[in-house]
Amino acid sequence: MDLLRNRDLATLLVLAGLGAASHACAQAPPEVALQTLATGLAQPTAIANSGDARLFLTLQHGEIVVFENGRVLPTPFLDIRSLVSCCGERGLLGLTFHPRYSENGFFFVDYTNVSGDTVIARYRLGAGDPNVADPGSGVTLLTIP
């Protein structure tokens, strides 16, 4: 008798779970709207935020540009085109900011170098302008052949 009761209880729990799952699936998805922020960018590959109102966009050929106050700033944040092998599946592919970027100015990039290796490197913000990094500050942290 206990076995029958346990089986009935298990069946009831499964059916209740299925009912809850079907109810959750029946809800309408939230509305999503796409908005064009900038045009004319050459092959953007990533977007990152440094913790303030600015957005940073990586361009596959090796530049990072700043989007601020509704426009892309004319001076690149970082230009490492001379280090980057571009196009196809290669190029400047990723960007992330150190959790304490506002204190230390460190950020990290992922790119394919001219030898075809994947490189993870750390850079830091330049002196005097919060929208320009120091291109000479690059430190290679990892190279994957």
- Split into its structural domains, the chain has a count of 1
In this prediction the pTM is 0.77
Which amino acid would we find at residue 137? S
Asked if residue 10 belongs to a domain, the reply is no
> 3 phi and psi, to 5 degrees?
-65, -45
The conformation of residue 74, written as its DSSP 8-state character, comes to S
Asked if residue 24 belongs to a domain, the reply is no
Asked if residue 33 belongs to a domain, the reply is no
Which amino acid would we find at residue 85? S
Asked if residue 105 belongs to a domain, the reply is yes
Q: What is the pLDDT along the chain (145 residues), one digit of tens a residue?
A: 454 444 554 444 444 454 544 455 567 788 888 888 888 999 999 999 999 999 999 999 999 999 999 999 999 999 999 999 999 999 999 999 999 999 999 999 999 999 999 999 999 999 999 999 999 999 999 999 9
Torsional sign, CA 107, 134, 109, 141: negative
pLDDT (tens digit, 9 = 90+) per residue, 69-110? 999 999 999 999 999 999 999 999 999 999 999 999 999 999
Q: Distance (Å, rounded) from C-alpha 121 to C-alpha 110?
A: 7
Domain span including residue 124: 44-144
Tokens 């426009």, residue located? 71
